[in-house]
Every structure is written in C-alpha cells, then in structure tokens.
C-alpha cells in the first residue's frame, strides 16, 4: 500500500515541484530498501500538495529514523548498551538533500544486508513466474530453473555449492528439511507446496534482515579504524585494523540464562596466567554444588578460599570448611582459582573495565570450540587462538617484544596498552560471513521477537 502511494505521488505531483523537493520525495520513496516505510498517514499528507514546511517535517522525521533507528532500543532490546552519536541535532527542523545520505550507516555490512533483502524481495515478486504450479522437479532431472533455485536457496542460507546441471541428492536433502519444517510430505521434490514454503521462509528472512538493519542504525554511523568486534550470536571475535578485517576467531558466548551483554568498552591490558576471581553467584551455586557432589573438588582445581568479599579478608584453609553443611544463601566466601591447567580462564585474559564483569579469555577446554552451538559460558567470551589475537592487538602499539617476553612467564603478569582499543559486543542474527555471504543465525537469546513484531 505504501509503495502504491509513493508511485502515485511521484507520477502525479512531482512534475511541478522544485528539484530539491522532488529529490526529497524520491528519498522518501527509497526507504523500503532500508527496511523502513513511510506511514499511510504521511503519504496522505504528501499526496495533497504539501507545503514545503510539511515536506521538511516529514523528511526530517524519517531521516532521524535512518540516523538512530525507528524503534526505541530501551523498549525493544533493553539490554542494548552501545551509545550512538546522532548525525542530526535535536533542534534541527530542516534538512538538505546531501545531509540525508549522511544519516545512513557507513558500516559496510549495512549495504550487504540491504542487498540481501533486495534479492529476497525479488524472489517474492517472481517466484510464481519462475517456478509455476505445473513445474515439478524430481531427482536427477535437468532443468533451466535449477540454477535459479540454487540462487534462491543460497540467498535463504538453506544450501550452497549445489550443482547447476541436475537435481541432486543435495537438492533433495535441502528441500526435505524445508518440507519437514512445514509438515509437508518430505519427498524432497520441488512443487507448488514446497515453493510456498520457500516463500514463507523468504518472508521470515526479510523480517530478520529488517531487524538487523535496525540494530545497525542503533550503532554509531561509523566504527573506529581499529577495534575488536565480538559477534555474540555468530560465535566469533573479529579484529579490525585500518578499517579492514585482519583476524577472525571462533568464540564461546554466554548461555541463554547467563547472556553475554551488548555493550561497548575499551581494552586496557592483557593478563598472562590470570587468577580467576569467581563471581559470587557462580561460587555460591555452581561451585558449591560441585564441591558437595565431589568433595575435594575445589582443592583439586586449585581454588583458594577467603573469609569474605573484602579484599583484605584473610585466606581460609580449604580443609577447615564444612561445605556439605553450607547453603547457597549462607555462602560468604570469596573463591580465587590460581593459574594452572584447570584454570577456567586459560593462560590469557583481555581486560576491559566494566561493571558487568565481562572480559575476553582463553579456556582450559579447547574442544568446546568444535561445537556448532557455542552458547556455553557464564557471560564472558572465550576466544580460540586468543594468543594470536593479543599479538595482533599489541603489535600496532609497538609491544610485540614485550608480549613475546611476557607470555613465557610462569607467574601472573599484566601488559598495559599505551592506547586503549575499542571493543564492541554485538548481537546480530543475520550477518555476512568471511566471504560476504549473509548467514542467518539462531536467535539464541530470543531477542528478535519484539523487534520482528513491528516489521
């Protein structure tokens, strides 16, 4: 409906308008490509020969949506803690056409997601024509539509590397999964009902892209030339240097009941052979339960126990505490795990001061990086190959020699960075991989639901 209004407006009312006002209307009509739409009410105003002031007011409103987001992040994703810097001032009531394009996100992935959405909208528009009802493809068939089907499945992130010259077993497997998702007869054939299932998935994917374009609008327009990007739902940590991706590492994120938060901070130092100062909730519930189940666990794992959470509290001999009689509510002790092969932080910890108690660290269980679902931590992010990541962070600051000397130390040591490095913990359920292909991730924390309800 909104697009119809836009077409009618542009064809009927723009010919007599000044060039600047026509360009503003053209810009408003382009908003669906960003996952935004001018409301029915605003198009009605625009279709009745609006005054220059009305046109400016409506344009400025939507420019603010493109600048800092359409939806209120505190309502739709309350845990979002990354500040944004608006391009438009609150007092600004008039906008020039050249300013409009400066409100769009300059983060490169924004354009990649827009292009992905345009391709999916093409499939919606032409699916009936390209895959008509009478078309049914069986295993082994050769057909001119197979390359088109391959492109659609790839854009939906349902399959890749499918042969173009025949309908293969890989095609059957991919479409069988689609059919099972919608309780269709799982024969793997392409037919009218399976085409409709693909259309339904395409609608879902478009909503997901709109949600993630909105999240990008919540970020600053551009990111620092040098930063660390912690991709929570994608289980990756990316090092960006000189504005380009320079390293990509597998990661482990927080469990759904202990989520890794979305926030921005700065890396200030790196610790070698860190001591794990256990958060009280983990000590009083998880570790106390393990000690009760396996007496001697804490001693065997290298924990020291202190009388209280006062940093001056004396150490208590671990053998003198009757853990079996303690409850979680009564547990007052502070636990610190010493460096060693069982230390939960591994050998390296990347420090960033924050009230959330979140940091990047190594792990004593590297086999966990082989899992597909890696929402396994208690909130902090574990990084595979963290030693190499630290090397990449410290080298531009002239600390590579210091790092080489420090990392062989058997004691706990800290390397302070002369210049802090920004780090962004982000949550995106659609994002380009290293090849530029948009991948759709599991919504591990169920944060898309409220946003999708508005798209």
Active site residues: 361, 380
Whole-angstrom Cα distance, residue 105 to residue 131?
36
Strand, coil or helix: what is 239?
strand
Select from 194, 147, 116 the least CA-distant residue to 440: 116
Starting at the edge strand that comes first in sequence, how are the strands of the sheet with 315-316 ordered?
A: 276-277, 334-337, 303-306, 315-316
CB 82 within 8 A of CB 262: yes
Cβ count within 10 A of residue 444: 20
Report residue 170: phi and psi, to 5°.
-65, -35
Whole-angstrom Cα distance, residue 353 to residue 313?
23
Exposure string over 57-83, b if 16+ CB within 10 A, otherwise e:
bbbbebbbbbbbbbbebeebbeebebe
Distance, CA of 323 to chain centre = 41
Whole-angstrom Cα distance, residue 431 to residue 234?
8
DSSP secondary-structure letter at 286? I
Task: Tell me the two tokens of residue 256.
Answer: 């759904």
CB 263 within 8 A of CB 423: no
List Cα–Cα distances, 304 to 112, 281, 334, 337, in angstroms.
Answer: 50, 17, 8, 6
Whole-angstrom Cα distance, residue 163 to residue 143?
12
């Amino acid at each position: 409906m909104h697009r119809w209004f836009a077409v009618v407006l542009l064809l009927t009312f723009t010919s007599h308008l000044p060039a600047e006002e026509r360009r503003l209307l053209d810009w408003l009509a382009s908003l669906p490509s960003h996952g935004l739409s001018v409301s029915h009410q605003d198009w009605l105003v625009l279709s009745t020969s609006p005054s220059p002031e009305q046109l400016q007011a409506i344009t400025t409103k939507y420019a603010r949506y493109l600048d800092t987001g359409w939806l209120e992040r505190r309502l739709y994703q309350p845990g979002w803690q990354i500040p944004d810097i608006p391009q438009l001032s609150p007092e600004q009531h008039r906008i020039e056409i050249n300013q409009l394009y400066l409100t769009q996100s300059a983060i490169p992935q924004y354009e990649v997601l827009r292009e992905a959405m345009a391709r999916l909208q093409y499939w919606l528009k032409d699916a009936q024509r390209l895959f008509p009802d009478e078309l049914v493809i069986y295993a082994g068939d050769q057909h001119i539509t197979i390359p088109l089907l391959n492109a659609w499945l790839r854009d939906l992130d349902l399959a890749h590397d499918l042969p173009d010259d025949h309908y293969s077993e890989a095609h059957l497997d991919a479409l069988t999964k689609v059919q099972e998702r919608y309780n269709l007869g799982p024969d793997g054939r392409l037919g009218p009902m399976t085409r409709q299932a693909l259309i339904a998935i395409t609608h879902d994917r478009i909503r997901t892209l709109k949600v993630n374009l909105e999240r990008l609008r919540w970020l600053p327009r551009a990111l620092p030339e040098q930063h660390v990007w912690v991709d929570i739902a994608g289980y990756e940590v990316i090092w960006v240097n000189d504005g380009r991706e320079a390293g990509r590492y597998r990661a482990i994120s927080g469990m759904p009941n202990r989520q890794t938060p979305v926030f921005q901070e700065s890396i200030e130092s790196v610790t070698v052979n860190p001591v794990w100062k256990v958060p009280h909730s983990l000590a009083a519930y998880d570790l106390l339960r393990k000690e009760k189940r396996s007496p001697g666990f804490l001693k065997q794992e290298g924990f020291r126990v202190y009388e209280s959470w006062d940093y001056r509290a004396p150490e208590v001999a671990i053998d003198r505490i009757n853990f079996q009689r303690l409850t979680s509510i009564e547990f007052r002790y502070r636990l610190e795990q010493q460096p060693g092969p069982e230390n939960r932080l591994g050998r390296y910890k990347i420090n960033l001061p924050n009230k959330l108690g979140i940091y990047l660290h190594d792990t004593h269980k590297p086999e966990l990086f082989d899992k597909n679902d890696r929402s396994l931590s208690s909130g902090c992010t574990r990084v595979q190959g963290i030693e190499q990541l630290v090397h990449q962070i410290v080298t531009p600051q002239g600390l590579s020699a210091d790092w080489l000397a420090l990392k062989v130390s058997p004691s706990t040591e800290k390397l302070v960075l002369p210049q802090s490095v920004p780090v962004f913990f982000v949550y995106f359920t659609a994002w380009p991989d290293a090849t530029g292909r948009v991948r759709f991730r599991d919504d591990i924390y169920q944060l898309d639901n409220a946003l999708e309800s508005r798209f």
